[in-house]
A and B are shown apart, each in its own frame.
Chain A
C-alpha cells in the first residue's frame, strides 16, 4: 500500500543515452530464521505472522516505492521532490532495517534456556552496567518510558568502545542516535509488536521477551565490532 501520492512520472522515458546508469537495488523481505509459532508462548504466532508478513512487508514495499520516486526525482533534478521523499525513505527504510535486525535478535523458545551472554560480551556488560540484571532493568525501564512508538537498543559505541542503552522514535534506525553506534539487540516497542497478546501491559511484554532473546547473535556482532 503506497502511502505517497505519486509525483508525476513522464510516460515516455528519457532516451537511453541520456539516462544515468544508476541501478535500483530494491529491498526484499528476509525470511524468518524459525517458524511463526517458534516463540510461543512469549510472542504468539498470530503476532509473528502479522508482524513479519504485514508490517515488515509494508515497510519493504513502501521503501521500494519511495526509492523509485527518489530515483526519478534525482534524475529530473527535482530537489524539492528529493527532499520531500526523505521522511518516507527514513521511515520505511528504517522499518526494514530495524525489523531485519529484530528477527535475528529472537530465537525459538525450544533452543534451550536463554543463556545470559558470557565471554567477552558478558564481561563488557558487567563492566558497563554493573551486572546483567542491571542491563535488563535499564532496557525495560527505557522501553516502558518510551512515549509513542519506537525501539529500545543495546548498542555498542565503536568510538568509545562501550555499550549503551538507547531508544529511537518511530522507525528511526540506531545510527540516528550516533554514527558510531552498532545495534547488538533491538526490542520493538510499537504496539503492534505485543498488543494482541499483552494489550496495554507493555511491561509484561518487556519482561517476557528476554526469554527469547538471541544472545549468541548479539555476541557475534559484538566480537566483530569490538576489535
Chain B
C-alpha cells in the first residue's frame, strides 16, 4: 500500500486556528484561510514479479513445470518481496535494478539490499535466457562473435560447462561481454553475484543453485547444464542482448543484425 504523504493542509474539523496575520480564525468545517482543500500525495512504486515469457510447463521435459513453479513462484517471488521490504526504508529506493545491484554490491562489501536486488535481476534475466525449443546453435553475427572470442562454438560450450561445474557452493555461470576487452567471456560467480557488479554486460545467465535443478536432476549437474545448452538457451535473447550491448561497446566486425 503506497504511503500517503500529505504535503498541504486538508480541510478538517479541527484545523489549525491561527492564520498568518495573527487573527484567530476558528472554524468547524471550513478553513477560510485556504479557498479549497488541497491534498498532495507522494507516489511510490515497488518491484513486481515479472512473469517468464512462456507458460510454466513450456520448458518440459528439460525443466519441469514443478521446478519452474517453485523456483519462480517461491524463490524468485520471495526475493521480490524481501527487496520491496528493504526499499521501504532504503536509500536506494528509486534506483533502477541494475544501478541498485552495482551500488549495493559496494565493491565487495555488499549492503543488505544486495542479495535480494541482485537475485531479482538475475532471475528475471535467467527466465529470459531460456525459451521453449531453445538450444541448438546461434546463427549470423552472434555465431561469428562466439567463434571469434572462443575459437569455436564447441569451445564455448566446453568452457561454459566447465565453469558451471567448477563452482564450490551456490552461484551462477554467465556468458558476458567485457566492455574493455570488447569480447565475450564465460565466468562463474558465487551466491548472487553477476557481471553487473564489475561493470560488464551479461548475455546469458544460468542459475547453478541447487534449487534450480535438484528436483529434476538430483545431483547430476552436468545433465542440467547440457540440457540447458542443448535445449533451453534462447539464442534469440542473446541476439537481442548483443544488439543492445553494441550501443555501449564497439564490437566492430562481425555485425549483429540491427532490426
Contact = CB atoms under 8 A, between A and B. Distances in A.
Interface of A: 1, 3, 5, 50, 54-55, 58, 87-88, 91, 147-149, 169-171, 190-192, 195-196, 199-200
Interface of B: 70, 74-75, 78, 115, 162, 165-166, 168-170, 190-192, 209-211, 214-215, 218-219, 222
Contact of B214 (A3, A58, A91, A191): A191
Given A50-B219, A171-B168, A195-B214, A148 B74 contact: no
Contacts of A196: 214-215, 218
A81 B166 CA distance: 17
Nearest to B210: A191
Contacts of A91: 168-169
Contact of B191 (A148, A195, A199, A200): A148
Which of B162, B166, B168: most chain A CB closer than 10 A?
Answer: B168
Given A91-B168, A171-B168, A191-B211, A200 B74 contact: yes
Contacts of B219: 50, 54-55, 58, 192
Contacts of B190: 148
Contact of B209 (A55, A88, A191): A191
Contacts of A55: 219
A199 B215 CA distance: 9
Given A91-B168, A190-B210, A195-B214, 12 more contacts: A50-B219, A58-B219, A91-B169, A147-B191, A148-B169, A148-B170, A148-B192, A149-B170, A192-B214, A196-B214, A199-B70, A200-B78
A199 B67 CA distance: 10
A196 B218 CA distance: 8
A32 B75 CA distance: 32
